[in-house]
Amino acid sequence: GQNIDQPTEMTATEGAIVQINCTYQTSGFNGLFWYQQHAGEAPTFLSYNVLDGLEEKGRFSSFLSRSKGYSYLLLKELQMKDSASYLCAVPRSGGYNKLIFGAGTRLAVHP
Amino acid sequence: DTGVSQDPRHKITKRGQNVTFRCDPISEHNRLYWYRQTLGQGPEFLTYFQNEAQLEKSRLLSDRFSAERPKGSFSTLEIQRTEQGDSAMYLCASTEEGSTYEQYFGPGTRLTVT
């Protein structure tokens, strides 16, 4: 089976850095996605990691360790608009790439 | 706007009624997924189409649920005899075959069953 764990809620201050962790267990591995979802809106793609290491994309970076079944999303220079849920997801192996999502981490950015 | 679109955005219905939702994927995408999301949870997979063929259905999809993609373009999701437990956001996503698996989501249809 597949299982994804991430913290339920986090808070941070505008301008700060926050790291959102995700641990996963899969029978096969086809990469890991991070999506951002503002309240009442659709998830939007942030990053896809398939190899170990850090991938940087502007203020957002994503890290993957396949041996540890671990990923994190790093958000720098936080802005109020970054207040959202951040969803970690893995495609199910042999399952037409349907995504298995974690419950999401609700991030609240305060002034 | 060439993104994924869904209609309606909101639907309020009484228990026992039938509802139908529509999804228009990005035009060149041949893979289409339906997900359901309840408050405080991540999306859960419901069903998958490759072109017009429905290739996978979740056990979450009871006999009251049916989905179609008749011409391999838009898709519909019908719920018969709705129950209060069906209240959720229904999300559609599409992707191109052979892509890096990124799925593009539509804005969702929020269903409230009273």
Of A46-60, A90-104, B22-36, B62-76, where does mean pLDDT reach its minimum?
A: A90-104
The residue among A91 and B65 whose pLDDT is bigger is: B65
pLDDT above 70 coverage of chain A, percent: 96
Instruction: Give the residue from B58, B32, B45, B43 showing the smallest Cα distance to B89.
Output: B43
Cβ-Cβ contacts under 8 Å, A97 against chain B: 31, 95, 101, 103
Give the full edge-to-edge strand order of the sheet including A3-5. A3-5, A18-25, A70-75, A60-65, A53-57
Question: What secondary structure letter does DSSP report for B84?
Answer: G
CA angle B22, B25, B26 (to 5 degrees): 155
Per-residue pLDDT tens over the stretch B48-94? 999 999 999 998 888 999 999 998 899 999 999 999 999 999 999 99
List A70's β-bridge partners, or say none. Answer: A23, A65
Distance to chain A for B16, nearest Cα, Å: 25
List A18's β-bridge partners, or say none. Answer: A75
Cβ-Cβ contacts under 8 Å, B101 against chain A: 30-31, 33, 48, 91, 97
The confidence score (pLDDT) of residue B105 equals 95
